[in-house]
Structure 1
Amino acid sequence: MTVAREIDRNVEICGRPVLKTCYCDERQRRKNEKLCPEKKMKKVAPADEAQQTQTSVLCRALEQHVRQGDILRQLGVVFKVFLGGAAKRDKVISHKTKEIREQTIVQAYRQLKQDGFAIKDIRNIKPKHINHLIGVWQKNNLSVATMHSRLSILRVFCEWLGKSGMIPPAAKLLPEHQAKRSYVAEKDKSWTAHEIDPEQLIRQIQQFDLYVAMQLEVIQAFGLRRKEAICFKPWQVETPEGDAIRIYSGTKGGRPRMIPIDTPQKRAVIEAAKAFVPHKQAHIADPDKTLKQNIARFGYVMLRFGITKEASGATAHGLRHQYANDRFEEFTGNTTPVRGGDGRVDEAINEARYRVSEELGHSRIKITNSYYGKFQRQG
């Protein structure tokens, strides 16, 4: 019996797409054609040709590991072929996103094996397996955001396997109260909102780790992400005019941005960072550590000083929230919704939201709701 080694995601039977797996043999192919003889197998659209080629390569590469029943090696093949690509192919994904995808997918298969599902071929994943995983997540009281994120990753994974459309939107899989993920901040996550004095705490951290303390100063002054602060090169980021910095190392999705140096505090932090590094090409992280080690060190220092949700309710990212809320109030003179503002919107408010969004490295004004709460819709 001949085993077809290609996945064709565009076969149609009586007008409906049919997903063919890599185990679809010649007999099944003839059966499909008999159901609707007037329909011929359509070729994929040019935009999908690259993905089909990748899927075909994947099928051939998987055969040996399928015979051995080695799930982890099969997943390794998939990750090698697909992991670097974004769901939207015009985007670059970060190493962190790759790591989260890999962990989520491996964890899903391990959970299924632990619960008695004898899957020897990763391509045999079915809707019943997804439903079982959702039940496990709900039993473990995972947050709505986590469940949505995992479903999104598994949906992309199924597309890699040629099973596009197998996992429907979360609204069709989760109960009503979990069907919609909220991106709106319900409370102020700033350090000051948790009665933490940033300057005082950073001075304490200086006695323990000068590098992490410098990184926190940069985060506070410019609203940077953790990785951006670790990769911060003070002599390299400043524009020739000296009125802004250009953030490009460690950015999310590789998206560079400009942040103005428009306050004395920002200028002081830049000068302090320049004096801190040993030479003009240096970053403000420990040069004797790798990026991964510096990130781990940052996390350890936060844990040691109680900057965690469990210990104080605040995280290092709370400094970025503080920057966003403070900048909005600086631009508008109004308080943000999470700080008691009325959330009314006008042209000046939207302009301020856009400016803050750009400084934070986001391209959408709506994402600022996750920092300072929900604004009213414009009528």
Structure 2
Amino acid sequence: MSKINGSRDTRNYGFGRKLHYSMKNCLRTHFGDGHYATVQAHSERCRLFCDWLLTTHQIADPRRINQEIFYAYAAHVRALLENGDISVSTATNRISSVNVVMKILRGDTNVHISKIGKVLGEKRCHIRTKAPQGLLFEQLDPLIEELINTNLHRVAAIIMLARTAGMRLREAILADLPRLKREALTLGEINIQDGCKGGRSGAFAPRWIPATDIVLSAIEFAISASPPGSRNLLSPTESYVEFLRGTVNAARNIVKGHGLQRFHDLRAAYACSRYQALTGIPAPVCVSDDESSILPRSCNREARQIVSRELGHERLEVTNAYLGKKS
């Protein structure tokens, strides 16, 4: 890993003079030009850690952070959790981000908390307990209409692609739209491979989605919203980060105003919709315990595996988080 200046023996391990800046700088160096959202998320969580270090221990140099101090911070986060000030997910993420940053700064894992759930006294539950927003397409119509009327056609296209094809935000933005339309018309399926998480490539990790009429309509709308000279939702002179910071961020208040807290919830809606199409019964998260139907285990598992592949996950338990408890 390259450094900006100095060595590991210099203040803030050579990543800058101010504590939080050095942590953000090491993240940028480690992840390079990409992973903007990841860098931003870790950075914001580490800002809280820095504030605690300065206030509680008067520490302004991460070289002074040892395992005892890290455990003290974990105890502070646990107190916030027990008081109901933060959720278990937030508490877990705060400690996880410090793990990441300290490993990058130090080059080792000597200051690290491996069993976060044990330290917090509560494990994060990954299983969804409420039906996702946007499960019914009609719920999204007012949102899409307002985005179009606000000249945010490209964000409306993201909403449609995410809901109809289970795309992540990055995948919807970077999708090769002409290729997807060609595949939909000639094959009846589309292969999601652009902008996939973890560097997946369609040539090596095919992810085929049934190209229903509504999927084709979403692709055609995205093509109409695509800037001239582009094959995706970015203009030829625009970077992914610029589009996120500008156009997407400008639309977030509108999106939340219609009850959709995150674009990612649309993937959960897609997962639930596909599960019902494959099994004939609603996903467990969409019904109460009294209303849920019991599928033969083999049928239930097969449906979940199909949904998992279509979402681009290797682990079945990740998809279970979208669908709810096992039926």
Q: Does structure 1 residue 119 correspond to structure 2 residue 59? A: yes
Residues 194-343 of structure 1: matches in 2 within 5 Å? 197-208=139-150, 209-237=152-180, 241-256=186-201, 257-277=206-226, 281-285=230-234, 289-296=238-245, 297-307=247-257, 312=259, 314-340=261-287, 341-342=292-293
How many correspondences in the alignment? 306
- 1:313 deviates by 6.2
CA distance, structure 2, for counterparts of residue 187 and residue 280 of structure 1: 41
Greater CA deviation, 130-139 or 205-214?
130-139
The one of 66, 88, 92 aligned to 1:144 = 88
CA distance, structure 2, for counterparts of residue 324 and residue 67 of structure 1: 44
Q: Which amino acid aligns with 1:263?
A: T
Q: Which amino acid aligns with 1:356?
A: V
CA distance, structure 2, for counterparts of residue 211 and residue 261 of structure 1: 23
Q: Which amino acid aligns with 1:324?
A: A
CA distance, structure 1, for counterparts of residue 147 and residue 279 of structure 2: 33
CA distance, structure 2, for counterparts of residue 214 and residue 71 of structure 1: 41
Q: Which amino acid aligns with 1:99?
A: Q
Q: Is the 8 A contact 1:302 1:316 kept in 2?
A: no
> Which structure: greater helix fraction?
2
Residues 357-372 of structure 1: matches in 2 within 5 Å? 357-372=308-323
Residues 10-89 of structure 1: matches in 2 within 5 Å? 61-65=7-11, 70-72=17-19, 75=23, 78-79=26-27, 83-84=30-31
- 1:163 deviates by 4.1
1:100 alignment partner in structure 2? 41
Q: Which runs of 5+ in 2 are unaligned?
A: none
CA distance, structure 2, for counterparts of residue 243 and residue 280 of structure 1: 26
2:72 alignment partner in structure 1? 132
Please list the CA deviations of residues 143-201 of structure 1 after superposition, one character each: whole Å capped at 9, or x if unmatched. Answer: 111221222232344444234364241243222xx2x11100011013247x9622343
Please list the CA deviations of residues 9-54 of structure 1 after superposition, one character each: whole Å capped at 9, or x if unmatched. Answer: xxxxxxxxxxxxxxxxxxxxxxxxxxxxxxxxxxxxxxxxxxxxx6
Greater CA deviation, 329-338 or 238-247?
238-247
CA distance, structure 1, for counterparts of residue 149 and residue 4 of structure 2: 53
**Identity, % of aligned positions:** 22
1:354/1:94 CA distance change after superposition, 3 Å: farther
Please list the CA deviations of residues 126-159 of structure 1 after superposition, one character each: whole Å capped at 9, or x if unmatched. Answer: 2332233234433372211122122223234444
Q: Which amino acid aligns with 2:72?
A: H
Q: Does structure 1 residue 181 correspond to structure 2 residue 124? A: yes
CA distance, structure 1, for counterparts of residue 266 and residue 120 of structure 2: 33
CA distance, structure 2, for counterparts of residue 313 and residue 80 of structure 1: 30
- 1:123 deviates by 2.3
Q: SS where residue 338 of structure 1 aligns?
A: helix
CA distance, structure 1, for counterparts of residue 142 and residue 322 of structure 2: 23
Q: Which amino acid aligns with 1:368?
A: T
1:317/1:196 CA distance change after superposition, 3 Å: farther
Q: SS where residue 260 of structure 1 aligns?
A: strand
**Cα RMSD between the aligned structures?**
3.4
TM-score, normalization by structure 2? 0.78
2:304 alignment partner in structure 1? 353
CA distance, structure 2, for counterparts of residue 99 and residue 216 of structure 1: 23
Please list the CA deviations of residues 276-304 of structure 1 after superposition, one character each: whole Å capped at 9, or x if unmatched. Answer: 43557431245665422422422432312
